[in-house]
């Protein structure tokens, strides 16, 4: 985050009480804090003010905040709005605990898969500001039609974990339906492959030693690549959904799509792209054996936790070597995706071209996806901002690949 400093002697900042900020609103101005006699940018305009953001301010005892004089009219108009709906949100720390507890009970779906008028047998929930609410209740016996209201719901859509097989059936029926003959058929098919990949990779994380699941994963990556090779623009459809809450399976598929896109952009052949895609899809498989409290921790990791999370690289290598025959290129995406060009990565502190091409590509894709995914302690960055940050990381990531990556994503 960019930081602006200014001494306190200078005029130009206007104080207001942090308690005036309303949960569930988007803050239309930059917020500054006063620290050691200086003003420092705390949140950029456009930040969504959530229960988590409030917890953060409480923890840091930040009761008084500042806007620049230029933003004062914007602050005044914000304060005069008298937001009604969201002030009654659950006690923030309770909302935080509930969210952490409930997160694993839900499965993240792509709203583009929901087609108005279609009948579904699974229930749908929406998560907004870390609170889950039911949008639609359906059962295997009782189907419900997707209405406009469902499609208009703001927030992230999820289904109960137990309903994933029903969702999977729905996806198959979609594949057989007339929708696959319309003008958007190509895009829909690509998104269907994406949703299927998520289900398969989630299954694999639940059973990391299953040979069957890994074969399905490989087949799925193959299908995804075929559809991209058929029509290169498919890649942009596959990359179109950003800013989701973090789930390992969604992250795995995103990193796979981004890596494949970069692989195609640097003219790897189909075989090479496939090796890359499989490795990228499996890059975090080692996280399946790390305690989930650490993987899903909704805050900064302490030193011990960080040491443990880093072992996911060696664990991933172990799982894949023991149980599955993977090409050396694919395997290197798993073992080297946290290495840095500067030699400051892990686990081997490899530098520059000692890192394989698959490792260098997956590292860029991994970093970009992390920046554009929402975490409770920070908003997801827009692709534009994420690219701005990553483009400066030429010491850590392959500068030639970075250039191609930025150009590729600039087209979204």
Question: What is the spatial distance between Cα 395 and Cα 363, in angstroms, rounded to a whole number?
Answer: 13
In the complex, the smallest distance separating the C-beta of residue 358 from Fe ion, rounded to whole angstroms, is 14
Determine the size of the site formed for Fe ion (CB under 5 A).
2
Stretch that binds Fe ion, among 84-92, 120-128, 359-367, 382-390 (CB under 5 A): 359-367
Listed residue (158, 148, 226, 234) closest to 191, CA to CA: 234
- Own/partner pairs, 406-409, CB within 8 angstroms, 24+ separation: 407/265, 408/235, 408/261, 408/262, 408/265, 409/239, 409/368, 409/383
In the complex, the smallest distance separating the C-beta of residue 24 from Fe ion, rounded to whole angstroms, is 30
**Residue (67 or 253) nearer to Fe ion, CB:** 253
**Residue (93 or 248) nearer to Fe ion, CB:** 248
**Residue (95 or 282) nearer to Fe ion, CB:** 282
Distance from CA of residue 221 to its chain's centroid?
19
Which pair of structure tokens corresponds to residue 138? 């359906």
**Residue (225 or 371) nearer to Fe ion, CB:** 371
Instruction: Give, to the nearest 10 degrees, the angle between helix 312-323 and helix 328-336.
Output: 160
The DSSP code for 331 is: H
In the complex, the smallest distance separating the C-beta of residue 316 from Fe ion, rounded to whole angstroms, is 8
Site for Fe ion in 366-395 (CB under 5 A): 366
Instruction: Starting at the earlier edge strand, list the strands of the sheet with 106-108.
Output: 106-108, 156-160, 124-128, 131-136
Stretch that binds Fe ion, among 222-230, 358-366, 373-381, 397-405 (CB under 5 A): 358-366
**Residue (16 or 346) nearer to Fe ion, CB:** 346
Which pair of structure tokens corresponds to residue 292? 């989930």
Would you say 41 and 3 are in contact if contact means Cβ atoms under 8 Å apart?
Answer: yes
- Which listed residue (284, 329, 339, 398) binds Fe ion by CB under 5 A? 284
Report which secondary-structure segment, H or E, holds 126.
strand 124-128
In the complex, the smallest distance separating the C-beta of residue 365 from Fe ion, rounded to whole angstroms, is 9
Would you say 346 and 339 are in contact if contact means Cβ atoms under 8 Å apart?
Answer: yes
Please tell me whether residue 315 binds Fe ion under the rule CB under 5 A.
no
In the complex, the smallest distance separating the C-beta of residue 124 from Fe ion, rounded to whole angstroms, is 28
**Residue (195 or 284) nearer to Fe ion, CB:** 284
**Residue (232 or 344) nearer to Fe ion, CB:** 344
Question: What is the spatial distance between Cα 288 and Cα 308, in angstroms, rounded to a whole number?
Answer: 13
In the complex, the smallest distance separating the C-beta of residue 363 from Fe ion, rounded to whole angstroms, is 9
Stretch that binds Fe ion, among 115-123, 140-148, 320-328, 360-368 (CB under 5 A): 360-368
Stretch that binds Fe ion, among 45-53, 177-185, 227-235, 281-289 (CB under 5 A): 281-289
Residues found near Fe ion in the complex (CB under 5 A): 284, 366
């Amino acid at each position: 985050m960019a930081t602006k400093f200014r001494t306190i002697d200078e005029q130009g900042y206007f104080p207001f009480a942090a308690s005036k900020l309303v949960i569930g609103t988007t803050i239309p101005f930059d917020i500054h804090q006063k620290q050691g006699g200086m003003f420092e940018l705390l949140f950029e305009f456009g930040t969504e003010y959530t229960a988590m953001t409030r917890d953060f301010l409480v923890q840091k005892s930040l009761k008084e905040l500042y806007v620049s004089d230029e933003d004062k009219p914007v602050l005044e108009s914000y304060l005069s709005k008298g937001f009604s709906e969201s002030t009654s949100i659950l006690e923030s720390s309770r909302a935080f605990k509930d969210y952490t507890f409930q997160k694993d009970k839900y499965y993240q779906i792509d709203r583009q898969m929901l087609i108005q008028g279609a009948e579904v047998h699974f229930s749908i929930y929406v998560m907004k500001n870390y609170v889950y609410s039911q949008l639609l209740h359906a059962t295997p016996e009782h189907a419900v039609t997707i209405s406009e209201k469902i499609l208009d719901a703001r927030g992230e859509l999820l289904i109960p974990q137990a309903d994933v097989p029903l969702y999977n059936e729905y996806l198959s029926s979609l594949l057989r339906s007339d929708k696959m003959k319309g003008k958007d058929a190509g895009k829909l098919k690509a998104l269907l492959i994406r949703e299927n990949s998520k289900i398969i990779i989630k299954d694999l994380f639940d059973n990391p030693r299953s040979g069957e699941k890994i074969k399905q994963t490989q087949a799925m990556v193959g299908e995804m690549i075929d559809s991209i090779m058929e029509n290169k623009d498919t890649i942009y459809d596959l990359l179109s959904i950003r800013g989701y809450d973090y789930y390992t399976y969604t992250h795995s598929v995103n990193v796979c799509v981004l890596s494949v896109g970069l692989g195609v952009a640097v003219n790897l052949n189909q075989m090479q792209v496939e090796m890359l895609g499989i490795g990228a899809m499996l890059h975090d498989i080692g996280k399946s054996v790390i305690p989930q409290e650490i993987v899903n921790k909704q805050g900064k990791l302490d030193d011990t936790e960080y040491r443990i999370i880093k072992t996911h690289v060696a664990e991933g290598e172990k799982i894949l070597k023991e149980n599955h025959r993977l090409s050396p290129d694919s395997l290197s995406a798993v073992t080297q995706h946290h290495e840095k060009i500067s030699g400051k990565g892990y686990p081997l502190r490899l530098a520059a071209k000692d890192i394989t091409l698959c490792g260098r590509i997956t590292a860029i894709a991994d970093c970009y996806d992390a920046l554009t995914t929402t975490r409770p302690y920070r908003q997801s960055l827009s692709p534009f901002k994420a690219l701005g940050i990553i483009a400066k990381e030429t010491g850590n990531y392959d500068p030639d690949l970075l250039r191609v990556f930025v150009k590729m994503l600039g087209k979204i």
